[in-house]
Chains A and B, each alone.
Chain A
Amino acid sequence: MGTGSTGPRLPAVVRHLIPTIAGLPLGPLLTLSLRSLAGRQPRLFERLGEHRSACYFIDPIDLAFAFTVIPDGERSVVRVVRKSETATSSVVIRGPLLTLLSLLDGTLDGDALFFSRVISISGRTEAVLALRNTVEDAELRPADLLGLRGALAGLVDTGILGALGVVRQMADLNSRSKAPEA
């Protein structure tokens, strides 16, 4: 389904940092992170059932690249791919990066974003639903993905979520300044 995306877009200052991030081995790092999470919280992946072997193509529309994710527990694989490489995917999910991150941390409601077309989804609806319900129940924090615990986890969560909050505010201000007067 096509996106008429109205979600907050990445501010220019953040977008300029992305080529630097893209130079990092993001795929292997995210793969490692997901496999490590599966080792610590196997129950989280059980909720996906048969859909843990599905290939999810996740396309943040304000980035120059996309990801494919096979969330198969300790056999999970994340790859950074070109935006055209959708052929082997079970599901394609498109939307602004900040909106997709909000789905991950539970800030926004996936149903509302889909039905209002802020994010777009095509492919196997049942796999999307399984992923949505799994992410919804997981209540993931940045420290969970990084495998951190204790005081350090608290510090990292505060830092990353705080930074994300600032970026969201910048994006909101940016979109408001571009909106036509009512």
Chain B
Amino acid sequence: MTSGRMELVCPAGTPATLRAAVQAGADAVYCGFRDETNARNFPGLNFSGEELAEGVRFARDHGSKVLVAINTFARVNDVALWKKAADTAAECGANAIIAADIAVLDHVAKNHKQIRLHLSVQAAAATPEAIGFHANSFGVRRVVLPRVLSIQEIAALNRAIDVETEAFVFGGLCVMIEGRCYLSSYATGKSPNLNGVCSPPEMVSYDEETNGTAARLSGFTIDRYEPGEPVGYPTLCKGKFKAGGKTSYLFEDPVSLNAGGMLAGLKAAGVTALKIEGRQRGKGYVTEVVRAFRKAVDAVEQGGDAIEIDRILAGQSEGARQTTGAYKKKWR
């Protein structure tokens, strides 16, 4: 599907961050409720119904939209919590619901026809057939693309479908086929796809030992750090393990996605919206990243060249190790 001006979709873990993202130039902000119906179910994060209603009003007053993620998978015989979340989002006047579970999609399609449905990355829909099924069955208007596709594949996909596509451009990277990760549930009994938590913090510990700090998840050592070395949050897919006599980041290097240099390519591939990851990040971080991407997207829309875009986003590539992910085919 061809697109006009690309939309910048930004994360908000709290009402303060929502306001910060909107003021920094987000076209749309995505957020979730304070329960297991969304994939960032961490302590102190997320919105009550009242906070969401206020957030929607604030965003609308500033010309932005609010998209509500209800994107975990409901438990067997217990879909009521997910339906209630969808009902609340609709009552609050949210512009769209981002969902993956067929039960949630079906509930919204039947009961809240006024609200747009976006297919979450958790649904891992990466073929015209899968996307077409969701569009035809539930009226899905946009699909958030799994982070396993190259730009060429996205372009081909967009030629074959007639719904909008949204692509991640910045932030944390999931290496697994999204919506189907069992690593966290193996170690902790809690799953990102069912409970909304990857590496639940109540099972995280940082233990001081003679040779430095060990970061552990549910007793499993995920990584070790020398004294004074910066530490990371222990997630299994980005852990350092020994296999075949060699110690390495077995599944994935602890790098973040930065596709800032590929915005023009994504536009040419027909992408409608660009998504920044990071609902667990603070408002300072969100403000800085959104502001930079706002300028970069505007520059792309005005035909700015790659050098200008790189200059605008230069500050975002300092510090953490980054990758262009699957957008350049070699990453796989």
Q: Residues of A with Cβ closer than 8 Å to B?
A: 1-2, 4, 43, 46-49, 51, 106, 108-112, 114-117, 121-122, 124-134, 136-139
How many Å from the CB of B132 to the closest CB on chain A?
39
State whether B42 touches A115 (Cβ < 8 A): no
Report whether B43 and A136 are in contact in the complex, using a CB–CB cutoff of 8 Å: no
Instruction: Give A106 to B281 CA distance when docked, in angstroms.
Output: 13
Q: Of all chain B residues, which has the CB nearest A120?
A: B206
Interface centre among B200, B228, B282 (most CB of A within 10 A): B282
- Beyond A1-B208, A108-B284, A125-B204, is A133–B231 a contact (Cβ under 8 Å)? no
Q: Does B282 lie within 8 Å of A116, measured CB to CB?
A: no
Contact A129 B283 (CB under 8 A): no
Q: Chain B contacts of A117 at CB under 8 A?
A: 228, 230-231
In the complex formed, the residue of A with least CB distance to B50 is: A43
CA distance A125 to B42 in the complex (A): 11
Contact partner of B44 (CB less than 8 A), chosen from A115, A124, A132, is A132
27 example contacts (A-B, Cβ-Cβ < 8 A) are as follows A1-B206, A1-B213, A2-B227, A43-B48, A43-B51, A49-B34, A51-B43, A106-B283, A108-B284, A109-B282, A111-B281, A115-B233, A122-B208, A124-B202, A125-B201, A125-B202, A126-B201, A126-B202, A126-B204, A129-B45, A130-B43, A130-B44, A133-B14, A136-B16, A136-B17, A136-B283, A137-B14
Is B45 touching A133 in the complex (CB atoms < 8 A)? yes
- Assess the A109–B202 pair: CB atoms within 8 A: no
Name the A residues within 8 Å of B185 (CB-CB).
Answer: none
Residue B285 interfacial (CB < 8 Å): yes
B44 touches A131 (CB 8 A): yes
- Complex: A48 Cα to B17 Cα, angstroms: 17
Q: How far is the CA of A30 from the CA of B34 in the complex (A)?
A: 29
B13 contacts the other chain (Cβ, under 8 Å)?
Answer: yes
| A119, chain B: closest CB distance, angstroms | 12
Residues of chain B in range 238-278 having any CB-CB distance to chain A below 8 Å: none
In the bound complex, do residue A127 and residue B43 qualify as a contact, i.e. CB atoms below 8 Å apart? Answer: yes
Q: Which residue of A lies closest to B18 (CB)?
A: A137
Chain A residues with Cβ under 8 A from B232's Cβ? Answer: 115
Q: Is the Cβ of A48 less than 8 Å from the Cβ of B44? A: yes
Tell me if B11 counts as interface (CB < 8 A to partner A).
Answer: no
**CA of A114 to CA of B205 in the docked complex: distance in angstroms?**
13
User: Closest 6 A-B residue pairs measured CB to CB?
Assistant: A133-B44, A130-B43, A137-B14, A130-B44, A1-B206, A126-B201
**CB-based nearest B residue for A138:** B16
Could you tell me the distance in whole angstroms from the C-beta of B46 to the nearest C-beta in chain A?
9
Cα A134 to Cα B282 with chains together (Å): 11
Report the separation of the CA atoms of residues A117 and B230 in the bound assembly, to the nearest whole angstrom.
Answer: 6
B15 at the interface (CB under 8 A from A): yes
Q: Bound complex: CA of A139 vs CA of B287, how far in Å?
A: 14
Do residues A2 and B213 form an inter-chain contact, with CB atoms below 8 A?
yes
Taking the closest CB of chain A, its distance from the CB of B317, in whole angstroms, is 16
Q: Is the CB of A47 within 8 A of B44?
A: yes
B208 adjacent to A2 (CB under 8 Å): yes
Residues of A within 8 Å of B213, CB to CB, are 1-2
Q: Which residue of chain B has its CB nearest to the CB of A2?
A: B208
> Is the Cβ of A122 less than 8 Å from the Cβ of B206?
yes
Chain A hits for B44, CB < 8 A: 47-49, 51, 129-134, 137
B contact residues around A129 at 8 Å (CB) = 42-45, 201
- Whole-angstrom distance between the alpha carbons of A58 and B205 in the complex? 18
Q: Is the CB of A133 within 8 A of B284?
A: no
Residues of B within 8 A of A51 (CB): 43-44
B14 to chain A: which residues have CB within 8 Å?
A: 47, 133, 136-137
B315 → chain A closest CB, angstroms: 14
**Are A1 and B231 touching (Cβ within 8 A)?**
yes
Across the two chains, which residue of chain B brings its CB closest to A49? B43
A139–B18 Cα gap in the complex (Å)?
Answer: 13
A115 to B285, CA, bound (A): 14
A138: chain B residues within 8 A (beta carbon): 16
Given A108-B284, A137-B16, A125 and B230 contact (CB-CB distance below 8 Å): no
Partner pick for A115 among B13, B34, B205, B231, CB 8 A cutoff: B231
Residues of B within 8 A of A128 (CB): 201
